[in-house]
Amino acid sequence: MTTIEEARKLPAVDQLYQSVEKITPVEIVEGTGDYWGSSTANGQTTITTGKSNNPAASLFHELLHAEMKNSGYAQYIYVVTTNDLGKNVTPILEALDNELQHHRFYPKFVTAGFRPDEFYSPKDKSTFRKTREELRKMGPRTAPQAFFLNLLTVIAPGGFGSDEDRTKLRFLLDARCGATTKEIMADVEAEIESWAKSETLDHGPTIKAVLERLGFNGVWVGKSKSFPNDGFFIGQAFDLADAIHV
Ligand SMILES: [Zn+2]
């Protein structure tokens, strides 16, 4: 029996598999890496397997990503900008694309009976330790954009750390970042919380609010390369002729 057949023996997993497959056929690619992954595009879902302590949990996690995209969650991953700072938007968008989905579907994962640490790869066991080390190298002069990527890790749902570890790490972040950035972090965290609780599948307004609060401008963010119709501006609108990075 394959890993996937074994994983589908759990009714919750099999049910979700079937409901995803009704909208996008599922192709399984056997991978050898540390992480499972998936993509849902052009009417097809591809799930790549990886190392896991519980393949049923990992498959369920990837199916939840597919379900969200099948329900209309767009992926805002294209950036056009008029300034150097705007180039930093790309890694932030990639992280947000993933984490906003996690924040929304994590309750379903727990309801299906899986443990918080099964939400991630065993490789992520040291995530909190790495974040702590990273934060210790940062200070009040570090850009809020850099703190934000660590904030996303600290507030990510599930995982290996205890609530106490998480609270300590949140305190460390606040202590390292200085008063102004601390306020920014509280505001962007509130944006993410409010997205998690809402029912809309359009996270465009959340991305816009977060990027503006992080101090970006002269940036266009799109769900396709179709500029400017398929996206929105952070700050003033601009013409393609003024862009330095497409
Ligand atoms: Zn995920």
One domain for residues 225 and 145 = yes
Amino acid, res. 150: N
Gap from CA of 98 to ligand 1 centroid (Å): 6
State which residues form the domain around 62.
Answer: 3-70
Gap from CA of 55 to ligand 1 centroid (Å): 14
Gap from CA of 237 to ligand 1 centroid (Å): 32
Buried b (16+ CB within 10 A) or exposed e, 41-71: eeeebbbbbbebebbbbbbbbbbbbbbbbbe
- Last residue of one domain, picked from the residues 16, 36, 70: 70
One domain for residues 197 and 87 = yes
CA distance 105 to 174: 27
One domain for residues 110 and 129 = yes
138: left (phi over 0), alpha (psi -120 to 50) or beta: beta
CA distance 211 to 92: 9
CA distance 34 to 122: 8
Q: Digits of tens for pLDDT over the chain (246 positions)?
A: 788 999 999 999 999 999 999 999 999 999 989 999 999 999 999 999 999 989 999 999 999 999 999 999 999 999 999 999 999 999 999 999 999 999 999 999 999 999 999 999 988 999 999 999 999 999 999 999 999 999 999 999 999 999 999 999 999 999 999 999 999 999 999 999 999 999 999 999 999 999 999 999 999 999 999 999 999 999 999 999 999 866
Angle at 51 between CA 54 and CA 7, to 5 degrees: 35
Gap from CA of 85 to ligand 1 centroid (Å): 27
Using CB atoms within 10 Å of the CB of residue 135, give its burial: 0 to 12 exposed, 13 to 18 middle, 19+ buried: buried
Gap from CA of 44 to ligand 1 centroid (Å): 17
Gap from CA of 38 to ligand 1 centroid (Å): 8
CA distance 157 to 201: 18
**CB contact at 8 A, 195 and 206:** yes
One domain for residues 102 and 66 = no
Gap from CA of 65 to ligand 1 centroid (Å): 7
Q: Give the pLDDT of residue 246.
A: 63
Q: Give the pLDDT of residue 2.
A: 87
Q: Give the pLDDT of residue 1.
A: 73
Gap from CA of 36 to ligand 1 centroid (Å): 8
Gap from CA of 28 to ligand 1 centroid (Å): 16
CA distance 73 to 87: 24
The total domain count for the chain is 2
Q: What is the DSSP letter of 47?
A: E
pTM of the entire predicted model: 0.95
